[in-house]
Structure 1
């Protein structure tokens, strides 16, 4: 089968598009003929975590397609089912943190940038009928990450003021849509005027230029909740906008992970600082119910043929995207 494979050289230079042997599903597994897949920042990180001495790896965590074969012991999933993939492996029930052994599709095992993939049957869910194949294929990782950060960890409620720095990524656009659906007032920041204007179209109540004075731009308003994924470049600026007793949730550090904070200011502010990563199968099910109830769709950026993976990686590496980048798989 055709696939995007990483081998021998760290980074993008180690990616090739070509033939690799497919495998058949074992006990409890299904084989899916993929129609679409989604690109995430995680795929960039995998290119450096996957070592040149490791066996060749098909990368990619998000995908949707049609079940082509089922292994022994599989119940509830049949050949011909249209499904999406929950990329979280080994985390069933909601818990404070992932259990030992939790992994994500696309490392250490093969991922979704291929014509077919074999995954545990329990990691499939019926494709939401109102989503196109392109929308379904880019949904899972970003939407699940946003759902846990906002609801499980951030405990967002109607009437809250929520700040999302760095609007543009797939997760950030889901955070915006989810928070608005929950009844929150949502503020976003971006260095891009275009992305800020688009965020207003998607429902943001206010878009701030990341380079301006945030306190002044917000008119002195303080936030109940900040969801932070940028890292060192914005963390302290975001923290300054939090009300006493407010909560900041972080799940990413694309602009640096070395952050210094003033502890005295932090404890006098009675702030809550929480980490978050992906989510459980239980949260995944809740997320799917939530998006269907509110008819939420991924914000789509660009969709490329899988063979043009290089252009897609260049776009996400330059942070040029607004929303999700997808691959069509023939």
Structure 2
């Protein structure tokens, strides 16, 4: 079957290890099923895998991809939840220390077919297109958990989204706006600030700019480059929720004094549960949200999408049709 796989790794030239070509068919075992993939989408996780982060070289070749929507063996339209808990784990699968994601230990979703546990399938609401559905299981699920599980914000609260155009950032803006939050966003790029406003942000500022008032929560995916600004932007008792560090995880200042003096909460957030994915899908349909899609490509042309993602030239999600 046709798939996009990592066959080698390079920190300086990650796309050199990407092969779009034939890979072995998946095998169902036990309570696993084969899903015929209709649409998938790209995440920074895929580029990190090509750089050798989180994917040991001894697991290559590895089919990439975490997001997918397709049909199960009975013809049902489904979303694929990418978090695979260890055998016997009960409760929140994101807290399982032995959890894995599709494309880390097991072949991923950037393929015509993928094997997944039957318990990882979520019904696709009829109101979601295949392209919209393919956006949800990673970036949008991450944003949903950041906002509604970990930031614990309420309608009328003000949240700051660091970054304005990536998959998680655009999801945060659209979800937050739909939930009645006052959403502010930052970016160095004027066009991306304009994009944030069109997606529902109430204001967009230059990265690091002084804000007109303190915010209730900061949604942080940038990391080192924006960390001090995130701490300084919070009201006393406010919350930073961090789910990534695309600019690095070693800020020049940890800001520990401000964190304890202002009694700030710093909460890590990773992906989301299967139940949260189901709630997210229903919320998107109920609110009429149309996930921001940068481009739609055929699987045979996936390299083009990887190149855009690696260059940071993306506004929203890149969807791949299998």
Instruction: Specify the TM-score bucket, using the shorter chain as the normaliser.
Output: over 0.9
Residue number in structure 1 paired with 2:181: 184
Output the CA distance in 2 between the equivalents of 1:52 and 1:102: 19
Q: Distance in 2 between matches of 1:208 and 1:184?
A: 17
Superposed CA RMSD in Å reads 1.6
* Structure 2: 5+ residue stretches without partners: none
Aligned to 1:264: 257
- Determine if the alignment matches structure 1 residue 241 to structure 2 residue 246: no
Contact 1:93-1:282 at 8 Å conserved across structures: no
CA deviations on 1:197-236 (whole Å, 9 max, x unpaired) are 12111111001122xx521xx22x1101001000111111
d(CA) in 2 for partners of 1:40 and 1:234? 21
Partner of 1:85: 80
1:5 and 2:5 are equivalent in the alignment: yes
Partner of 1:228: 220
Give the Å deviation of 1:313. 1.1
SS in 1 for 2:164: coil
Residue aligning to 1:203: 200
Equivalent pair of 1:93/1:280 in contact (CA under 8 Å): no
Change in CA separation of 1:303 and 1:92 when aligned onto 2, cut-off 3 Å: farther
- Deviation at 1:94? 3.6
Deviates more, 1:134-143 or 1:1-10: 1-10
* 1:284 Cα offset (Å): 2.0
Question: Does residue 303 in structure 1 map to residue 296 in structure 2?
Answer: yes
Q: Is the 8 A contact 1:7 1:54 kept in 2?
A: no
Q: Deviations for 1:87-145, whole angstroms, at most 9, x for unmatched residues?
A: 111276348x6112211111110001111111111111122212211111222111111
Aligned to 1:76: none
1:325 equivalenced with 2:318 (yes/no): yes
* C-alpha distance after superposition, 1:237-279 (max 9, x if no partner): 1211111111111110001110222322221111111111111
1:115 and 2:120 are equivalent in the alignment: no
Q: Is the 2:84–2:101 contact (alpha carbons within 8 Å) kept by the matching residues of 1?
A: yes
Find the aligned partners of 2:5 and 2:26 in 1 and give their Cα distance.
Answer: 15
Aligned to 2:22: 19
Residue in 2 that maps onto 1:143: 140
CA deviations on 1:279-325 (whole Å, 9 max, x unpaired) are 12232222223223212221100111112222111111121111101
User: 1:325–1:222: structure 2 CA closer, same or farther, 3 Å change rule?
Assistant: same
Q: Secondary structure at the match of 2:144?
A: helix
Distance 2:168 2:185 in 1: 13
> SS where residue 179 of structure 1 aligns?
helix
Q: How many residues align?
A: 313
Q: In structure 2, how many angstroms separate the alpha carbons of the residues matched to 1:280 and 1:230?
A: 23
Tell me if 1:33 matches 2:26: no
> SS of the counterpart of 1:240?
helix
Alignment partner of 1:294 is 2:294: no
Question: Deviations along 1:3-40, whole A, 9 cap, x unmatched?
Answer: 11212444321111111221332221111111111000
Within 1, Cα distance between the matches of 2:256 and 2:195?
Answer: 36
Selected match of 1:61 from 63, 66, 81: 66
In the TM superposition, what whole-angstrom CA distance separates every residue of 1:166-217 from its partner, at most 9, and x where no partner exists?
Answer: 111111111111111221111001111111112111111001122xx521xx
Q: Are the counterparts in 1 of residues 6 and 49 from structure 2 also a CA contact under 8 Å? A: no
- Unpaired runs of 5+ residues, structure 1, are 70-78
CA contact (8 A) 2:65 2:103 kept: yes
Task: Output the CA distance in 2 between the equivalents of 1:247 and 1:52.
Answer: 37
**Mapped contact 1:92–1:280 kept (Cα < 8 A):** no
